[in-house]
Amino acid sequence: MSTTRKIIRIDEDLCTGCGECIPNCLEGALQIIDDKARLVSDLFCDGLGACIGHCPEGAMTIEEREAEPYDERAVMAEIVKQGPNVIAAHLTHLLEHGADDFVAEAVAYLEENGIPVPEEKKAAPAPSPCGCAGANAPASLGAPVVGPAPAGPSGGPGRLGNWPIQINLVPAWAPYLEGADVLIAADCVPAAMPGFHQELLDGKVLLIGCPKFDDLAAYRQKLANIFRENDIKSVTVAIMVVPCCAGLDQVVKQAIADSGREIPLSERVIDFRDQPV
C-alpha cells in the first residue's frame, strides 16, 4: 500500500551517470541503467538523502510523493550479504539521521537471524550532558536557540540549535532550514572567535565547511539546493582573514544566484590576531 513520504528524485537532464551516488546508497535503491542513475525500488529508499551530497551535478533532491513504504527488513536482508562493515555503516547512517525506529527494526532483524550487532550501534547515542539541542538528531530539534540557554561545559551559554552542521551532511530538506536565518562559517571560525555562540550564532542555523580542503563546487550545488528548497530569511557568511577563506564567500554568492532567490547576505571576517589572549 502506497503512502505519501519523502523519497529521492533524480533529474535525468542533470544526471551524467557517473555513479558517484551508488556506493553511498547502502540500501541498494540506486543503479546505473541506460547511463543514468535510477531509483529501482521505493522499498529500499529511506528518503534520508545520503546519496545527495555525493552527486557532483546536483541531480538528486528529496521530494514528497506517493511511494511504497520503506522496508527496513528487506533492506537488511540485502545489507547483511555485504558483511559487518556495511552493516555498521548502514546503522551509522540511520543513527545520524535520528531514524530510531529503523535502527530498532534493523537490530531486531540481526538478532533474529543470529548476526552480531555492532555494540555501539544498538541504540541512538544519549544526549550530551550539556543539554545542547545540537547533540540530538535532526528529527528531534526545534528552532535555533535564542536568548538565555543552558550553560555548556565551559560555563558559557550554548546557541547551537541544529545537527548535523557540516555542509556536506545537511539534507536540503532538513526542517530547521525552513524560514531560517543561516550562518555559514568556515570551520576555523568557532575556534578563533571566543564569542562565536553569542555574537554570531544566536538565533541562526549553523552550516560549516572548509573552503581550502573541501570541494567548493559541491558546496555551491548543495547550498543552491538548500536556498532553492527553503524560504531562507537571511545568510551570514563568517570567514577568517586568511586568503584561503575567501572562496567560501564567493561560493555562497554564486549559490544564491543559482537558486534564483533573493536572500539578504552579510559577511563577517574574523582576525585571530584581534582576539584576547
Cell 541503467 belongs to which residue? 33
Q: What is the pLDDT of residues 68-127, one digit of tens each?
A: 888 999 989 988 888 888 888 888 877 766 677 788 888 889 989 999 888 655 444 433
Which residue bears the cell 552480531?
Answer: 116
CATH dotted code for 133-274: 3.40.50
Distance (Å, rounded) from C-alpha 159 to C-alpha 198?
7
179/143: higher pLDDT: 179
Mean pLDDT value across residues 212-240: 89
Domain ranges (residues) in the chain: 3-67, 72-121, 133-274
Q: Which CATH architecture group holds 3-67?
A: 2-Layer Sandwich (3.30)
- 196 pLDDT higher than 70: yes
What residues contact 263, with CB distance under 8 A and at least 6 apart?
227, 232, 233, 234, 235, 256
Where do the H-state alpha helices sit in the chain?
72-79, 84-96, 100-112, 189-192, 216-229, 246-259
